[in-house]
């Protein structure tokens, strides 16, 4: 597990390191600059060229500019030809920046203005550009000379292509560190060297695309600087097998869950098949499918491992559902059930009468969103301690939450938590970066696995199956959801690597879920 921090959280940890633990800010700046310089030198080494390299260091007037001035000195001492310029009002330079510029001047490097660089230097002049204009505190639009400097850096990169390295210090200038939004315009970095913890805006889109390769380095701000106030957001980047409990050697088929899958409808069988396949691949011991009678033959042919019950009317649901509820240890409801009155009846019977853990997905979520009665029943579901996981994509989340998709996209870090608290459940809001929030947890999870090749029909059905299988581990619903999302994304990454993003299918994702759990 790794933390992702907001700008205010990181500033507090920085201040705690200096004021509480007594590590001088100038020491932290030197360490951060050394780490950044090391990566620039590694890049130069890969070029295998004996000529002198030319670097432009573009500094703002704050402490991020101080990092830039320190980097300029370290690069100069390694034999690199360095130009440094200040963007903004020189009279407003921070004390740390002025100190670094004074040291740099004593080593023989004069500070220039950005306007002089822009007017007198070709975009082809530079091999390396260090972006040290804005740190993690920026939220206002980038305008004036700063906007011109962003344009200049980006034009240099465009003109020279792979022959120039653009390195951003801590975060690309122009990216909001808290949400990844572009503050009107931003530097398009090849590499961003950030310190101690990823910033949330580097993980979310579109900030992720401007960040380039994200390198997290230790600048001396340790977890002790939290002073018992841990960051709110986290993500995984480790082997999924290290996060899941070991399977028991003396287990039987009932040990790892008897999962009831209520999926599919008269004209839809694929969602049911994909979710069931994922249930088996993710380790469910037994799977019993409850689906429309029209799906019986294809399911028998495709999934011989699954038990099957069918319905063709509300009376069939009434007669069979209690037996299925008693048999199961957990249930998945929603993939491909449609929006008919029969489907609505199935949802109502389940959320009002089921007494075990439940994953609610797809059409079941849309049916709840359209019915105040179902919303009321769902809000009562988890009050007795049952685990309830909702897995809406952004459009489904929008309908359930009652705001537009654009509003929900802007509020993706806070709205899932609000919905989770309203419904007393765990909410998995699926988007380019999936967010998991829980009514009983202060933390939120940002999923970093997965890729755009997973934007394919049935991918969400696979996720619901994975969630249903992982319920057997008896982890909290929040942990079950975070691990399910992470595993699903990792499987998508494996499928993309081996098959290509364009060619991969949801069925491939399910297959690679099984491969990852070997």
Are 233 and 443 in contact, with CB atoms under 8 Å apart? yes
pLDDT over 80 at 247, yes or no: no
Which string of b and e fits 278-312 if b means at least 16 CB within 10 Å? bbbbbbbbbbbbbbbeebeeebeebbeebebbbbe
The mean per-residue pLDDT over the stretch 93-108 comes to: 97
Q: Which residue has the tokens 């260091």?
A: 57
> For residues 428 and 440, what is the distance between their CA atoms, to the nearest angstrom?
14
pLDDT over 90 at 248, yes or no: no
pLDDT over 70 at 32, yes or no: yes
How high is the mean pLDDT of the chain?
96
Query: How far, rounded to the nearest angstrom, does the alpha carbon of residue 130 sit from its chain's CA centroid?
Result: 27
pLDDT tens, residue by residue, 53-68: 999 999 999 999 999 9
Please return the burial class of 484, using the count of CB atoms within 10 Å of its CB with bins 0-12, 13-18 and 19+. Answer: buried
User: Which pair of tokens denotes residue 227?
Assistant: 């002073």
> For residues 496 and 456, what is the distance between their CA atoms, to the nearest angstrom?
12
pLDDT tens, residue by residue, 101-148: 999 999 999 999 999 999 998 889 999 999 999 999 999 999 999 999
Q: Which residue has the tokens 């396949």?
A: 277
Residue 301's SS3 state is: helix
The mean per-residue pLDDT over the stretch 367-375 comes to: 97
User: Which pair of tokens denotes residue 316?
Assistant: 């069939």
Geometric angle at alpha carbon 479, from 466 and 372, rounded to 5°: 75
Are 153 and 166 in contact, with CB atoms under 8 Å apart? yes
Among 406, 402, 470, CA closest to 436: 470
Among 215, 205, 212, 160, CA closest to 187: 212
DSSP code per residue over 413-463: TTHHHHHHHHHTSEEEEBSSS-EEEETT-S-EEE-----GGG-STTHHHHH
Q: Which runs of E-coded beta strand occur in 218-267?
A: 233-235, 258-262
Say what percent of the chain tops pLDDT 90. Answer: 94
pLDDT over 90 at 180, yes or no: yes
> For residues 95 and 82, what is the distance between their CA atoms, to the nearest angstrom?
22
- CATH numbers and ranges of domains, the chain: 2-235 (3.40.50.10260), 257-510 (3.40.1190.20)
pTM of the model: 0.95
Give the containing element (helix H, strand E) for 130.
strand 128-132
């Amino acid at each position: 597990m790794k933390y992702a921090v907001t700008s205010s959280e990181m500033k507090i940890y920085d201040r705690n390191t200096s004021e509480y633990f007594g590590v001088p800010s100038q020491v932290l700046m030197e360490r951060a600059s050394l780490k950044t310089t090391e990566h620039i030198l590694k890049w130069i080494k890969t070029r295998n060229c004996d000529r002198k390299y030319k670097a432009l260091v573009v500094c703002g007037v704050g402490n991020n500019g101080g990092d830039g001035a320190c980097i300029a000195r370290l690069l100069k001492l390694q034999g690199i030809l360095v130009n440094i310029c200040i963007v903004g009002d020189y009279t407003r330079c921070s004390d740390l920046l002025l100190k670094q510029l004074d040291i740099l001047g004593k080593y023989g490097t004069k500070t220039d203005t950005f306007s002089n660089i822009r007017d007198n230097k070709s975009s082809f002049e530079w091999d390396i550009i260090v972006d040290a204009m804005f740190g993690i505190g920026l939220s206002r639009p980038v305008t004036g000379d700063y906007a011109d400097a962003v344009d200049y850096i980006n034009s240099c990169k465009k003109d020279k292509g792979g022959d120039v390295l653009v390195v951003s210090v801590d975060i690309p200038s122009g990216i909001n560190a808290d949400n990844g939004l572009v503050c009107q315009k931003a530097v398009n970095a090849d590499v961003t060297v950030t310190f101690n913890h990823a910033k949330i805006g580097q993980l979310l889109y579109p900030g992720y695309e401007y960040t380039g390769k994200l390198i997290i380095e230790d600048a001396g701000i340790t977890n002790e600087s939290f002073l018992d106030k841990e960051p709110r957001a986290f993500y995984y980047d480790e082997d999924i097998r290290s996060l899941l409990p070991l399977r028991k050697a003396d287990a039987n088929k009932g040990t790892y869950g008897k999962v009831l899958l209520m999926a599919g409808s008269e004209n839809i069988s694929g969602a049911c098949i994909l979710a069931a396949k994922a249930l088996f691949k993710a380790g469910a011991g037994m799977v019993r499918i409850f689906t429309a009678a029209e799906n019986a033959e294809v399911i028998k042919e495709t999934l011989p491992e699954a038990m099957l019950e069918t319905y063709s009317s509300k009376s069939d649901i009434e007669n069979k559902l209690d037996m299925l509820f008693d048999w199961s240890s957990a249930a998945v409801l929603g993939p491909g059930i449609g929006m008919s009155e029969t489907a609505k009846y199935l949802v109502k019977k389940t959320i009002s009468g089921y007494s075990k853990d439940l994953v609610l997905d797809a059409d079941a979520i849309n049916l709840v969103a359209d019915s105040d009665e179902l919303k009321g029943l769902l809000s009562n579901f988890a009050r007795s301690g049952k685990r309830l996981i909702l897995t809406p994509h952004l459009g489904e989340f929008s309908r359930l939450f009652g705001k537009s998709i654009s509003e929900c996209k802007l509020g993706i870090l806070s709205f899932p938590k609000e919905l989770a608290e309203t419904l007393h459940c765990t909410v998995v809001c699926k988007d380019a970066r999936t967010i998991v929030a829980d009514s009983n947890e202060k933390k939120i999870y940002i999923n970093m696995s997965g890729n755009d090749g997973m934007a394919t029909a049935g991918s969400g059905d696979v996720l619901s199956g994975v969630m249903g299988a992982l319920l057997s581990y008896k982890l909290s619903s929040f942990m079950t959801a975070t691990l399910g999302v992470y595993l699903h994304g990792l499987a998508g990454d494996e499928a993309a690597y081996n098959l290509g993003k364009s060619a991969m299918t949801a069925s491939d994702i399910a297959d690679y879920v099984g491969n990852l759990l070997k």
